[in-house]
Structure 1
C-alpha cells in the first residue's frame, strides 16, 4: 500500500480482467432462491423488509395504477446495501466507494426522470421552478437556484454514497494500523472501539442504501 487511499484503487488484475469489480456480482447468486415455490428462511427474511419498502415507496410515488413501479428502487436499495456490507469484510473490494459506480446508478435515473418530466409534464416542471408564494422580484433568482439544484442532484447522490463509504473505511484503516504498534494493555480497548465502529458501519451501509433509494423515489414522484 503506497498511501492510505490506495486501498480504494481497483488494481487487482488477472489476464487484463479487473477482479475487484467482480464482488458487485455476488448479489446475483441470491436470485435463483427467489424462484422456489416454497421459500426458505433466508428469502422469507428478505421479503419482510421488501414488503415494508414497497408500501413506503408506493406512498411516496402515489402510483395507484402502475403496479410494480417500486421494483427498480427496491432492487437499487438491495444492490447498494449488499455491496456496502460486503465491503466491510476483509479482502473484498467496496465498489460503492467509487464515483464510477455511484454516478453510474444516479445519472441514468436522474436523466430518465428529467426527460420524462419535460416531455410529458412540461407545465408541471415549469411550475416546480418557482415555489408558491414567491415574490415577483425573486422569481428569476428562484428559477436559477431551482435549476442548479436539479442539475446537481445526480452528483449529490453519487458523492453522498461514495464519501460515506470512504470515510468509514478510512477510520477503520487508521485504527487498524495504529493498533499494531500499541501496548498490550491498550489493545483490548482499541479492539472494542473497532468492533463498535464496525457495527456503526453496518448501520451506515443499510442507511445509505435506504437514503439513495428514497431520494430517487422522491425525484421520480416530482416529475409525475
Structure 2
C-alpha cells in the first residue's frame, strides 16, 4: 500500500473513532482495528495519538477553508455567502465525523488545538470579517456584526453534521435524500440572505 493510501485509510478510521470516543477514549489500537492495519503502521505514519488527532482536526479545517475561498472572489454577499453555505452544507454531508471531532474538541475547551484556534482560525476569521465589512460599506448588505454572522453560518451548516442523528430521527429514521439536502441548502440560504438584506441571488 502506498503512503498516501495508507495515510488516507488511517485518517478515515481515526475520524470515526475520535468522533465516537473522543480524544481521551480513543486508542491507537482501536483506530488500527477500524483501519484493518497493524498498530505499528499507525505509529510509522503518526508517531503519537495527539499527532494523529491534530491531523484529523487540521484536515476538516482545511476543507472548511477551501469552502470559503469564494469569499475573496465573489462580487457580493449573495454570491459569496450563498456559495459558502452550499459548500459548508455539502461538507457536513460528506465529512460528518470530522465536524463532530472539531465540535467536541472546542466544547471541551480545545485542550489539544488551542494554539490552532489562536493562530490559523483567528487569522482566517479576521480576513472574512474584512470582506463582510467591505460589502456593508458598499451597501451590498445590512450593517450586521460580521462575527455573529459567521457564528450563525457555522452553527447552522455544521448542525447537519454534529446533530445528524437528531435530524435523521426527525426525518422518519432515514438519512436526508438528495432532494432534501438541496431543499435544506436552499432554505438556509434564503433565510440567512433575506435576514442580512442580501437576497438578490441573480
Query: Scaled by the length of structure 1, what TM-score is found?
Result: 0.27
**Does 1 or 2 have the higher relative contact order (CA < 8 Å, sep 6+)?**
1
Greater C-alpha Rg = 1
Q: TM-score, normalised by structure 2?
A: 0.29
